[in-house]
Amino acid sequence: MDYNVGKDLALIRDFYNLSQDDIAIELKVEKLRITRTETGESYPRKEFLERVYDYCFNKGLRLNIQKEMFYKDDVKNGHILLTHASKKGIVGNIDVKLGRTNSDFGQGFYCGESYDKSISFVCRSDDASIYFIDFNPDGLKRIEFNVEENWMLAIAYYRGRLEEYKNNKKIIDIIKSIEDSDYVVAPIADNRMFEIIDQFIEGYITDEQCKHCLAATNLGLQYVFLTEKAVSNLKVLEKCYISSSEKKYYIKKQEDYQKEGVDKSKLARIQYKGQGKYIEELLK
């Protein structure tokens, strides 16, 4: 899937009341390139894509965020608008078997509930894109987790950290409930959150300390599609270009957010010290 650069370029011009001559001067290109791009006669190289979307972002128009708002306004009744962050792009049809096996809930197709949250996972990648996806949940079996014990144990299991407890009945039941579902809805666990879960698995903090530390990070929800039946209910709406200026913006935002999250987690660890159970107590 290509970017909607022709449509976007015309939209940017209209938004700033610019003629094709005006935008050509702004982007330092020939007018003919503008015309051919807008009509779809030619598809530009990355260098031109970067000029268009960098110009838009630096002018203050958060085009992708606005697109998300419009897609949410237009989503069909009962459907859900999701975002998928990709470092290399979706090639061909969505396939659950192409995902990594050591992700939060094993192999599957992972989506987020917002553009802001999804872009934070790929903003350091050169060829990253964000996809808007329409999801129809009709006829699918769903399992949902909150920031709680079963969620922590599931993530630890799929990331290969519960080998010692893999035959424990509680772990077997959790994994079976996931594998019997078409998709999972659960809090996102980034690498920093997994470090906290790892402290719980290693016996350094209790389940209560772990839960409150994780709740402090507030990364939002992820939708994990595990079956072919589930991905057949997904429709890719648009592939969004992320310019270098937008990436820098979100890298800075992510760094500020991580600093705030570290402080909150540290306070939660102190506040709930001595409360709850250690992992060997839960899985004895």
183 within 8 A of 223, measured Cβ to Cβ: yes
Residue 226: which of 153, 176, 152 has the closest Cα? 176
Mean of pLDDT values over 20-27: 95
Identity at 239, one-letter amino acid code: K
- Residue 109 pLDDT > 90: yes
Mean of pLDDT values over 210-238: 88
* Percentage of the chain exceeding pLDDT 90: 57
166 within 8 A of 232, measured Cβ to Cβ: no
Cβ neighbours around 40 below 10 Å, total? 12
pLDDT tens profile 125-167: 888 999 999 999 999 999 999 988 899 899 889 988 888 888 8
Residue 120 confidence (pLDDT): 85
Residue 282 confidence (pLDDT): 83
pTM: 0.89
175 within 8 A of 154, measured Cβ to Cβ: yes
Strand 221-225 and strand 109-112: the pairing is: antiparallel
| Domain architecture of the chain: domains with CATH | 1-61 (1.10.260.40), 79-282 (no CATH)
